[in-house]
Structure 1
Amino acid sequence: MNGSDPNAPGPPPEQGTRPEQGTSVTGTGARTSGHGVDEHPAPVRARLHPLTFVVGAAREMVALLAAGVAGLAVGGLSTAFFFTLIGLGLGFVFHVIAWATFTYTVYEDRIELRRSLIGRSVTTIPRERIRGVDISAALPHRLLGLAIVHIDAGADGGEGTLNAVGRHEADRLRGVLLGRGPGAPGEAEPRRVLARMPPRWFVFAPLSGAYLLTPFALAGSLIGTLYNLSDDLGLITRERLSDLGHELVGLPTGTVLVLAVLFLLAMPVTSALAFAAFNWDFRVYARDGSVVAERGLVTRRSVSLERRRIRGVELTDNPFERLARVQRLGALVTGLGDAVQRGRLFPAAPRHAAVDLAGRVLGPVPGPLVRHPPAARGRRIVRAVAPPLGLAVLALFTGQSLLAYVFLGLSVLAVPLGVDRYRQLGHATDESRLAVRSGSLRRRLVVVDHGAVVGWRLRRTLFQRRLGLATLDVAVGAGEGGYPAVDMAEHDAVAFAAHITPTWVEPFLADERRP
């Protein structure tokens, strides 16, 4: 006896070499031998789902309909049918060839995407650089049980997209690429729901302003489409435009007022509908070391954020949202591309719900915030009033008295804005996290882990030095890279940094104390 187990698996062959005698590669990618089965399956080159070309054809139906309309206008029904048939045939052939010439392979250290439609190309994404794996499904994908997998590896690692894979395969790829091992079979642990947005929160959509302009966007898009189509078909002439203008000008005043009121009423309604379409059944849950945000009605999108890369959170609001006690929540993630959209954890929620979710994702928010010294109030007011007051003086010197009065009125209105900017300043820290807040029209509270701080920057302008103030920039390797604590007392700024990273700051303080 030699003391070895005859049933123990032998070492796998090195990558790129031929298997040893007695070893074969099975169709499923697992290495087998006469001594057993290797626990690490061999990389397998896979293709997208065979229904990929069906999804592509569905996306191009609008273009095919446009081609049919053009053919109908040019040569009648037979020409329209011919144009549509040719477009459908060419699109079908193109998508079939694209599917047949695209493959992807997951290795232990990377994923490779190969294309050979016209020229050969290989995209290699190292797994250690992958920052997130997003799964989305438009309506055609959802009807066919497919999904789109988007791999984000930050600015240096590149990105890749798998346009159509099975839903189970998409979940498996997310688990594998986010570090659950090359053979991870999907979810290793059941997901735990952290928060969910009920439909009654959709009424908060008009407060943000982003969705409030939806009627203007829809009206502009519809008018542009109708104009281009009518112009192509020869339905627009100068005489018809002139007649239309006279008809609009000649409308009764009451009719114009009714139309204006209806349009204004449509703004909050359409904003709520657009908000619901993008954020339907918005839920945040934890799974396998990641925080996953899933949302969408027609197109369902799932964004995964690794907990170990989450460095902080950001709570933002505007004056209207503050009156309604509503906030938006986002995550600060290292190397995250399109952080505004992909880092979103709550698009609009009651303040207590946003703060509660921030605590579940990162930890309790430090508080209460420390107010900044009264000297900062005057500085905030001056910085708010100075621009419109300067423009008023310039307009007065150039003889534009009306503009001068307008800018003078704006400078008066800027005084309460400056006061509110001062009231929103604050900072706090505990044993694990720090928080800094600033802004008025867009108030922002940033909460960052102490371990995520990579540096400090203390800035003092001439006016700040005379008032004993300083701005402390917190350098973080996530989000925007740095977040300022504006107009702190100079000694408070130094003490704040020294409390969090004493070994960095105390040597500089010791140098200043030396005679």
Structure 2
Amino acid sequence: MNVEAAAPPPPGAAAGTARLHPLTFVVGAARELIALLAAGAAGLAVGGLSTAFYFTLIGLGFGLLLHLVTWATFTYTLYDDRIELRRSLVGRSVKTIPRQRIRGVDISAALPHRLLRLAIVHIDAGADGGEGELNAVSRQEAERLRALLLGRAGAAPEPRRELARMPRRWFVFAPLSGAYLLTPFALAGSLLGTLYNLSDDFGLITPERLAGLGHDLVGLPTVVVIAAAVLTLLAMPAMSVLAFAAMNWHFTVYARDGSIVAERGLVTRRSVSLERRRIRGVELTDNPFERFAGVVRLDALVTGLGDAVQRGRLFPAAPRPIAEGLASRVLGPPPGPLLPHPRAARGRRVVRAVAPPLGVGALALLAGQPWVVYGCLAAAVLAVPLGIDRYRQLGHATDGVRLTLRSGSLRRRQVVVDHDAVIGWRLRQSPFQRRLGLATLDAAVGAGEGGYPALDMAEGDAIAFAAQVTPHWVEPLSLLGDDPPSPRSS
């Protein structure tokens, strides 16, 4: 009998081929069963099992079979330099993610996964490397994959060191953010949309019923309408706190194995790992309400991170001193104090604030809409303090290691970036800025949004600031004339 030699393993192989956890099929079956029960209840509510219900039953059965086949035909293999995800359901596909491209490994677990001690592993490799997902593996396998994919397999494990934890009393900060304050409307819209689709499918919605409902709503007493509006206004902050608590329950940030890990979530628990060597800066963001309460949001600026708004979050809301303390532990102390920008920038900030309502008012005047004109004039008056506050928030500083830039009023943000993260500068001047001796300096950063502006700096200050951060880049400019002037604060 001829025995063929086994094919040598691919170069750099670190582990054998593995499948997802067998209980993955159970999670999919549970979701299909819930949908089946909902469809059955809806069918009985309208008076029996209609033909549409039988089609639904067949579709759900096919879905269960598809979950089983998908589990049987999906494998993953981890090598020293890459991970390969293979699918062979109809056609065969192989997705390769180089390990040096991996920016982060997230571990999440919805309620069914948590009950079965399973987890979903999401691999983010930036724009070039793509993404991969393993749904689902055991919790032990998820942690092992995270350690291996982030390049810590051969190193001695580091003890978990907690950096910050969100106490439950901070949940009251949720109404200060507009996103969470609109939660009741988002939930109501989703619920009404689902009910409408189900009712329409089972014939519960007719033009006559819609007309009758509209007539009933129009005929409601004024007292009832006012009471409903008051209840809605009262429900908004309460619902925002509940939504905030569900998303950020037991929010914990800790350092482990060369990464910064943020864990959060009540029903769905999510753990986001950010390689420390890829964190190039932090961003502190607030609005006027949060600023009045001394609250700020903290995000990490990570090289090549996908979905940075959610995955780079280090604190969704925290008192400013605590957020700055966490930023110092993650990146280093921010430079300060901030240098204000020239007084000429104040006029530009005010003009740019009042120009939009005045422009709309001019068009309304030409169109013969006096009430719109009055509203625009009122908005322009209110925009004056907004422009002044925008000027007050402008600032910049550097300490030789990190730089910081701040701007904005309705959404004020301050970025702190390592000098090494700056990959270029761009100096911009409009004709109005040139007349006032101002310029906008854009710092190109290989992380976050890619670039951050220092608005309306004095022209000489902009060049001097760039020279302090990257002197070898700006030195050729000094050869064209005198040495760059030192930064000034007026």
TM-score range, shorter chain: over 0.9
CA offsets per residue over residues 126-159 of structure 1, 9 Å max, x none?
0010000000000000000000000010000011
2:20 equivalent in structure 1 = 48
Tell whether the 8 Å contact from 2:107 to 2:272 is kept in structure 1 after alignment.
yes
RMSD of aligned C-alpha atoms?
2.2
Q: Report whether the alignment pairs 1:463 with 2:435.
A: no
How far, CA to CA, are the matches of 2:447 and 2:41 in structure 1? 50
Q: 1:179 to 1:317 in 2, by over 3 A?
A: same
Q: Report whether the alignment pairs 1:170 with 2:142.
A: yes
Residue identity in the other structure for 1:58: A
Secondary structure, counterpart of 1:511 in structure 2: coil
1:333 equivalent in structure 2 = 302
Q: 1:445 aligns with which of 414, 417, 440?
A: 414
How far, CA to CA, are the matches of 2:169 and 2:418 in structure 1? 33
2:77 equivalent in structure 1 = 105
Q: 1:215 aligns with which of 184, 197, 204?
A: 184
1:8-23 to structure 2, matched below 5 A, reads 18=8
Structure having greater relative contact order (Cα 8 Å, sep ≥ 6) = 2
Q: 2:86 aligns with which of 84, 99, 114?
A: 114
1:123-134 to structure 2, matched below 5 A, reads 123-134=95-106
1:153 equivalent in structure 2 = 125
How far, CA to CA, are the matches of 2:149 and 2:293 in structure 1? 41
Tell whether the 8 Å contact from 1:72 to 1:79 is kept in structure 2 after alignment.
no
Q: Report whether the alignment pairs 1:385 with 2:385.
A: no
How far, CA to CA, are the matches of 1:18 and 1:273 in structure 2? 56
1:309 equivalent in structure 2 = 278
Tell whether the 8 Å contact from 1:110 to 1:126 is kept in structure 2 after alignment.
yes
CA offsets per residue over residues 377-426 of structure 1, 9 Å max, x none?
01111111112112212221222222111111111111111000000000
Q: 2:209 aligns with which of 226, 235, 240?
A: 240
The CA deviation at 1:222 is: 2.1
The CA deviation at 1:241 is: 2.7
The CA deviation at 1:18 is: 4.1
2:260 equivalent in structure 1 = 291
Q: 1:54 to 1:74 in 2, by over 3 A?
A: same
Secondary structure, counterpart of 2:480 in structure 1: helix
- Runs of at least 5 residues in structure 1 that lack an aligned partner in the other structure: 1-15, 20-28, 30-39
Secondary structure, counterpart of 2:410 in structure 1: coil
Q: Report whether the alignment pairs 1:482 with 2:454.
A: no
The CA deviation at 1:77 is: 5.5
The CA deviation at 1:96 is: 1.6
Q: 1:78 to 1:253 in 2, by over 3 A?
A: closer
Secondary structure, counterpart of 1:512 in structure 2: coil
How far, CA to CA, are the matches of 1:90 and 1:246 in structure 2? 44
Tell whether the 8 Å contact from 1:65 to 1:84 is kept in structure 2 after alignment.
no
Q: 1:71 to 1:79 in 2, by over 3 A?
A: farther
Q: Higher Cα Rg: structure 1 or 2? A: 1
1:258 equivalent in structure 2 = 227
Q: 1:89 to 1:236 in 2, by over 3 A?
A: closer
2:250 equivalent in structure 1 = 281
Q: 1:247 to 1:110 in 2, by over 3 A?
A: same
CA offsets per residue over residues 212-249 of structure 1, 9 Å max, x none?
11111122222222223223332333333333233223
The CA deviation at 1:251 is: 2.4
How far, CA to CA, are the matches of 2:436 and 2:464 in structure 1? 18
Q: Report whether the alignment pairs 1:180 with 2:152.
A: yes
Secondary structure, counterpart of 1:435 in structure 2: strand
Percent identity of equivalent pairs: 77
Q: 2:316 aligns with which of 335, 339, 347?
A: 347
Residue identity in the other structure for 2:327: A
The CA deviation at 1:462 is: 1.1
Q: Which moved more, 1:114-123 or 1:54-63?
A: 54-63
Q: Report whether the alignment pairs 1:139 with 2:108.
A: no
Tell whether the 8 Å contact from 2:15 to 2:79 is kept in structure 1 after alignment.
yes
Q: 1:429 aligns with which of 376, 393, 398?
A: 398
Tell whether the 8 Å contact from 1:370 to 1:426 is kept in structure 2 after alignment.
yes
- Counting matched residue pairs gives 477
Q: 1:463 to 1:82 in 2, by over 3 A?
A: closer
1:6 equivalent in structure 2 = none
How far, CA to CA, are the matches of 1:391 and 1:507 in structure 2? 46
Q: 1:247 to 1:398 in 2, by over 3 A?
A: closer
1:362 equivalent in structure 2 = 331
The CA deviation at 1:487 is: 0.6
1:184-195 to structure 2, matched below 5 A, reads 188-195=157-164
